[in-house]
Chains A and B, each alone.
Chain A
Amino acid sequence: MSHHSSDERLVQFIREHHPSPPSPKENIEDTLIAQIETEAQPTNVTPFPRRRYQGWVFGSAIAASVLLLFTSVRFLQPSSLSPQETAELEAFLIENWEAVTMADPAETSWFIPEQPKSSNRR
């Protein structure tokens, strides 16, 4: 006797002989509907469940943050100079450098405080 067939016979037996529940009260359906109408008020049913709403909010927030980060990185990056700008910059640097290294000392004489001419008075 296989275990499977034994199971089948058991299931068949309990299906045939399982006790049926007693009949419900006649008015149970109406009582239930009345209870629903008086106590349960699922009128706050939203076609947009809260959980989904939260997901939408978080998703949008994350997307906005990523977009902001991307654009800020783009704008903060130093843009490359055009050949003309490079040439101008180079010329400025050379001119500036020459002005510093080859400057006339007289031009900076104003920087040295003047000595009082006391000896001439004597």
Chain B
Amino acid sequence: MLTEPNTNLSDTELVKCCQTNNRAAFRLLYRRYQRRVRSTLYQLCGESMLDDLVQEVFFRAWKGLPKLRKPKTFSTWLYRICWNVACDQRRAFAQLREQKQILAQQEPSLNSADLNTMHYQQLVQQGLQALTFEQRAVIVLHDLEDVPQKEIAHILDIPTGTVKSRLFHGRKALRDFLEKQGVVL
């Protein structure tokens, strides 16, 4: 049984413990990664059902851990599960997202008289929501989660060139959106 002082164990060691059915080790992995998973899912899917999605990611991770042959790639593998869960929920959230986009388009006109009062967080959120799902994933992983491009390519199962392309177009769209709202970058 692992206790708190063992939190300095590496991912590889914890994964190996989990593969011997050690739930305490998995609890430590959860604590280590839940913020990143939560943040990524939030940027990709929004607030609705966030707790359930986080739980789903870690549940799938637990079930899949016996098949993870390279424990050192755990974080990349976990992001991949995250991406899969987000994709699975995409259709369910499509309608909600469309509504948010409509609101996002309406809101600037309501507040255009006084852009200074607009909250930057809200703008960034709206900007991210305005991107395509694929572009948003690359921006969130690369610019917010600091995941290298090569790893993103592996997580999303796309060539590195496509990651670069989505990053370029995603940033451009986000910049255009923010500048349209009066943000000077």
Residues of A within 8 A of B (CB): 6-7, 9-11, 13-22, 24-25, 28-29, 31-33, 35-37, 39-40, 42-46, 49
Interface residues of B in 40-74 (CB under 8 A from A): 41-43, 47, 50-51, 54-55, 58-59, 62-63, 65-67, 69
CB-CB under 8 A from A19, the residues of chain B are 42-43, 121-122, 124-125
Q: Is the CB of A36 within 8 A of B26?
A: yes
Interface residues of B in 114-128 (CB under 8 A from A): 120-125, 127-128
Q: Is the CB of B30 within 8 A of A17?
A: no
CB-CB under 8 A from B51, the residues of chain A are 24-25, 28
Contact with A along B145-172 (1 / 0, CB 8 A): 0000000000000000000000000010
24 contacts between A and B (CB under 8 A): A10-B171, A10-B175, A11-B143, A13-B185, A14-B128, A14-B174, A15-B143, A17-B121, A18-B121, A18-B124, A19-B42, A19-B43, A21-B42, A21-B50, A22-B42, A24-B34, A29-B27, A32-B58, A33-B27, A35-B59, A40-B59, A40-B62, A43-B21, A45-B19
Determine which of A9, A25, A40, A42 lies in contact with B185 in the assembled complex, contact meaning CB atoms within 8 Å.
A9
B9 interface residue per 8 A CB criterion: no
How many B residues have CB within 8 A of the partner chain? 44
CA distance A20 to B122 in the complex (A): 11
Number of residue pairs spanning A and B whose beta carbons lie under 8 angstroms apart: 100
CB-CB under 8 A from A24, the residues of chain B are 34, 38, 50-51, 54
Q: Is the CB of A36 within 8 A of B183?
A: no
| Given A6-B185, A40-B59, 5 other A-B residues pairs in contact with their CB atoms under 8 A | A14-B144, A17-B123, A21-B42, A37-B23, A49-B69
Q: Tell me, rounded to whole Å, the shortest Cβ–Cβ distance linking B87 to chain A.
A: 19
CB-CB under 8 A from B8, the residues of chain A are none
CA distance A10 to B131 in the complex (A): 15
B178 interface residue per 8 A CB criterion: yes
CB-CB under 8 A from B31, the residues of chain A are 29
CB-CB under 8 A from B139, the residues of chain A are 14
CB-CB under 8 A from B3, the residues of chain A are none
CB-CB under 8 A from A9, the residues of chain B are 185
CB-CB under 8 A from A25, the residues of chain B are 51
Q: Is the CB of A35 within 8 A of B63?
A: no
B6 interface residue per 8 A CB criterion: no
Known: A15-B144, A17-B121, A45-B66. A28 touches B54 (CB 8 A): yes
